[in-house]
Amino acid sequence: MSKINLYKFASPATFYGLAGQMIPGFAVLSAILFAIGLYISFFVAPTDAQQGEAYRIIFIHVPAAWMSMFIYVVMAVYAGVGLAFNTRLSAMMAQALAPTGALFAFIALFTGSFWGKPMWGTWWVWDARLTSQLILFFLYIGFISLQSAIDDPRRSDRAGALIALVGVINVPIIYFSVKWWNTLHQGASISLTKAPSMAHTMLAGMLIMAVACWTYTIAVALFRVRLIILERERHATWVSELLEDAK
Amino acid sequence: MNMLAWILRRDLLLAMRRKSDVLTTLFFFVIMVSLFPLGVGPEPQLLKAMGPGVLWVAALLASMLSLGRLFAADYADGTLEQMLLCPESLALIVLAKAAVHWLASELPLVLMAPLLGLQFGLPGDALWVLTLSLLLGTPVLSLVGAIGASLTLGLRGGGVLVSLLVLPLYIPVLIFGAGAVDASTSGLGAGGHLSILGALLVLALLATPKAVAAALHISLE
């Protein structure tokens, strides 16, 4: 097997083409997985004995919450790589991921409050996990607004990277907050050490939805990074050639 | 170390020459705290329960409002660039500047807090815990705030941006600071909360000066 040259694809010009080839695959995959996942969540998974039909919100709520935390870590890794090795593409990827992460954090909060109303009888409780999810949303907003306030792309990349790395300290706090504080929120439903406490179809539905969210994130981030590349490289020859071809 | 003493002396002198800056922050804190009883009503039980949180939130906001002064003047007259060029460790310079920010903008609030606590009907023990928690927590605010201040140097709308960047990072300090006072009034003992505040302070002292130094290089490059 020939070695893939990572340095080649670290150049925005080559990555632009590669991303363009990857987007349709991930987009189609994501659409199929969403269809299967939603079918399982609504028609196959049994009604929960205690929570009734309202529990079905977890099929979007849990994957969204996972994604919002995971994307922040991925973003911080890209930011760190960009800061350490001065690779422009890494910073662009971090910038491309942030809006999707913020979207998932918002979905997790929004669907969570719809679940909380029938279960707890209230839209919102100031519990540790809800609060730290809210803080995560604020961190995304801070990152996005700092980047958009700085006009010089180089400074904006590096300043964003620093604040992402500072903020990533918050992600483990979210994850362990259930253990730190003892509150209304039920413990995590899935654990790697114990047998899952939910039916297998429920678990399957949730995992398929999670993978669907993943592929969606990849497709959207690649789409966004292509736009960022075009915007940043608009003075480069390859972009003007590309635009000539498109005409 | 010479450098540290020199910056401390210079910045303190500058802060003392502009006493009104120090007093504005202090009075912002006092006014802010006084607004709460007017907003929620004068019931002693309610105020006693709210007191620690109100004082802590007001301290957070007052500290954030004064962050602009941390680097802005030195940035405007070019001193900051000279500091970046000088062979001494930039992290040490940052530490000195954060220390002065704490002394000038936050220590007065800490000293004023017990008096305002009395107005909220906090008992004697709680006042001690409040002061101690502020003493441990407010330096963290200066240090963490310095990251936000350095990243937003010279940006349009920098002041509002700083609040978006910095307030979420202040939350752990708020939780454990106000929590310490609550724990003490409910008879649980504030030891645990104060220990965590101390740990946060140590962490901030070790980690933030380097981060601020990196941020200054990014902003001034």
Tens digit of each residue's pLDDT (9 = 90 or more) over A3-19: 566 677 778 888 888 88
Extract the tokens encoding B84: 């970046």
| Nearest beta carbon to residue A149 from set B161, B171, B218 | B161
Instruction: Tell me which chain B residues have a C-beta less than 8 angstroms from the C-beta of A170.
Output: 168-169
The type of residue at B89 is S
Residue A144's contacts (CB-CB under 8 Å, 6 or more residues apart) are: A98, A99, A102
Best mutation target, B155, B203, B206, B218, to test chain A (most A CBs within 10 A): B218
| pLDDT tops 60 at residue B85 | yes
| pLDDT tops 80 at residue B217 | yes
Taking the CA of residue A195 and the nearest CA in chain B, the distance in Å comes to 33
The answer to whether B151 contacts A162, with C-beta atoms less than 8 Å apart, is yes
The answer to whether B168 contacts A154, with C-beta atoms less than 8 Å apart, is no
The answer as to whether A66 is a domain residue is: yes
Alpha carbon distance A123, B81 (integer Å) = 51
pLDDT value at residue B184: 84
The answer to whether B168 contacts A167, with C-beta atoms less than 8 Å apart, is yes
pTM for this model (two decimals): 0.85
Instruction: Tell me which chain B residues have a C-beta less than 8 angstroms from the C-beta of A154.
Output: 221
Alpha carbon distance B132, B127 (integer Å) = 9
| pLDDT tops 50 at residue A229 | yes
pLDDT value at residue B84: 87
| Nearest beta carbon to residue B168 from set A135, A150, A162 | A135
Alpha carbon distance B37, B42 (integer Å) = 6
Nearest CA in chain B to A136: B168
pLDDT value at residue B70: 87
The answer as to whether A221 is a domain residue is: yes
Under the banding of pLDDT at 50, 70 and 90, the label for residue B172 is confident
Give me the phi and psi of A151, to 5 degrees please: -80, -35
| pLDDT tops 50 at residue A96 | yes
* Number of neighbours of residue B215 by Cβ within 10 angstroms: 26
The answer as to whether A79 is a domain residue is: yes
| Nearest beta carbon to residue B218 from set A135, A158, A166 | A158
Under the banding of pLDDT at 50, 70 and 90, the label for residue A211 is very high
pLDDT value at residue A3: 58
Radius of gyration for the alpha carbons in chain B, expressed in angstroms and rounded? 18
Arithmetic mean of pLDDT, B12-37: 90
Longest CA span, chain A: 63
What is the extent of the structural domain holding A210?
27-183+191-246
Nearest CA in chain A to B167: A138
Provide the domain count of chain A: 1
pLDDT value at residue B59: 93
Instruction: Tell me which chain A residues have a C-beta less than 8 angstroms from the C-beta of B188.
Output: none
The type of residue at A148 is S
Identify whether the C-beta of residue A88 lies closer than 8 Å to the C-beta of residue A133: no
Best mutation target, A148, A150, A176, to test chain B (most B CBs within 10 A): A150
Under the banding of pLDDT at 50, 70 and 90, the label for residue B154 is confident
pLDDT value at residue A241: 82
Residue B79's contacts (CB-CB under 8 Å, 6 or more residues apart) are: B73
Taking the CA of residue A135 and the nearest CA in chain B, the distance in Å comes to 6
The answer as to whether A17 is a domain residue is: no
Alpha carbon distance A17, A26 (integer Å) = 15
- Of the candidates A64, A184, A179, the one whose C-alpha atom is nearest the C-alpha of residue A126 is A184
pLDDT value at residue B193: 83
The answer as to whether A15 is a domain residue is: no
- Tell me the ipTM for this assembly: 0.84
Nearest CA in chain B to A171: B169
Alpha carbon distance B28, B116 (integer Å) = 13
The answer to whether B156 contacts A149, with C-beta atoms less than 8 Å apart, is yes
* Number of neighbours of residue A226 by Cβ within 10 angstroms: 20
The answer to whether A163 contacts B211, with C-beta atoms less than 8 Å apart, is no
The answer as to whether A10 is a domain residue is: no
Looking at every residue in chain B, the average pLDDT score rounds to: 88
| pLDDT tops 50 at residue A221 | yes
The answer as to whether A7 is a domain residue is: no
Instruction: Tell me which chain B residues have a C-beta less than 8 angstroms from the C-beta of A128.
Output: none
Which run of H or E residues covers position A222?
helix A200-232
| pLDDT tops 70 at residue A180 | no
The answer to whether B219 contacts A155, with C-beta atoms less than 8 Å apart, is yes
Lowest mean pLDDT among A39-43, A142-146, B117-121: A39-43
Collapsed DSSP state (helix, strand, coil) of residue B88: coil
Identify whether the C-beta of residue B40 lies closer than 8 Å to the C-beta of residue B118: no
Lowest mean pLDDT among A165-169, A194-198, B149-153: A194-198
- Of the candidates A128, A78, A125, the one whose C-alpha atom is nearest the C-alpha of residue A98 is A78
